[in-house]
């Protein structure tokens, strides 16, 4: 086998491991990512799987990084072409609701479950989650400030407060869908977002 083909196969195997890790983590938590379970699911040896990551923590971090790529693709990109400010915020929230409603991750939003799993811990996984949430809050807050500057939201709108409330609505929607199977929560989330942004 040529080195180029070997490297390409190793990259594909690593991608398969990460994809399965993201799905499994959304269902069973990041602690549910066991080397044995993943190896069995993917038809790999434990040693072969470990060769790609070295540690369970490295695998958890890779899963969170991939989940962020998926979240960006599903929630930010659909609205990124809209005019900045309130229109983009509306688009982001609509895409965010759709992402949860469609069950992009089989166990619901991986970030919501990982937050509950790691909020009382310390270490690299919690640190990455904090950075990911902080970056998302900054992105939303920038849109709120643009909307306020344009007059689409009241002057003096507290960007951090509005982002806090929008995030609360979407976390609540994830909870309603995943724990209660409450499809009626989707229109409630749309109404709640509209009340804040209109």
Q: Domain 3-197: which topology?
A: Tetracycline Repressor; domain 2 (1.10.357)
- Give the residue among 72, 92, 62 at the shortest CA–CA distance from 163: 92
Q: Do 110 and 118 contact (CB within 8 A), yes or no?
A: no
List b or e across 48-71, with b for residues whose CB sees 16 or more CB atoms inside 10 angstroms: ebbebbeebeebbbbbbebbbeeb
84 SS3 class: coil
Give tens-digit pLDDT for 58-110: 999 999 999 999 999 999 999 999 999 999 999 999 999 999 999 999 899 99
* pLDDT at residue 186, as a whole number: 98
Specify the length of the chain in residues.
Answer: 198
Question: How far apart are the C-alpha atoms of 192 and 96, rounded to whole Å?
Answer: 13
Residue pair 138/43 in contact by the 8 Å Cβ criterion = no
Q: What is the pLDDT of residues 145-193, one digit of tens each?
A: 999 999 999 999 999 999 999 999 999 999 999 999 999 999 999 999 9
Contact 140, 166 (CB under 8 A): yes
| Token duo for residue 77 | 């990109």
Copy the structure tokens of residue 16: 């398969």
Task: Tell me the per-residue pLDDT of 102-124, one tens digit each, with 9 for 90 and over.
Answer: 999 989 999 999 998 999 999 99
């Amino acid at each position: 086998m040529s080195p180029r083909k070997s490297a390409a196969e190793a990259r594909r195997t690593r991608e398969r491991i990460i994809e399965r890790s993201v799905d499994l983590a959304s269902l069973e938590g990041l602690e549910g990512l066991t080397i044995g379970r993943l190896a069995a699911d993917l038809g790999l040896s434990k040693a072969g799987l470990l060769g790609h990551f070295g540690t369970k923590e490295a695998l958890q971090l890779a899963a969170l990084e991939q989940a962020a790529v998926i979240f960006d693709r599903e929630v930010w990109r659909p609205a990124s072409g809209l005019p900045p400010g309130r229109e983009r915020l509306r688009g982001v929230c609509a895409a965010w609701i759709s992402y949860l409603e469609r069950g992009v991750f089989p166990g619901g939003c991986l970030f919501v479950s990982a937050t509950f799993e790691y909020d009382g811990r310390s270490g690299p996984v919690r640190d990455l989650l904090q950075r990911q949430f902080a970056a998302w809050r900054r992105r939303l807050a920038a849109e709120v400030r643009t909307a306020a500057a344009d007059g689409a939201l009241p002057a003096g709108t507290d960007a951090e407060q509005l982002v806090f409330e929008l995030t609360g609505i979407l976390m609540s929607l994830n909870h309603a869908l995943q724990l209660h199977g409450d499809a009626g929560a989707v229109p409630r989330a749309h109404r709640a977002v509209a009340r804040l942004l209109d």
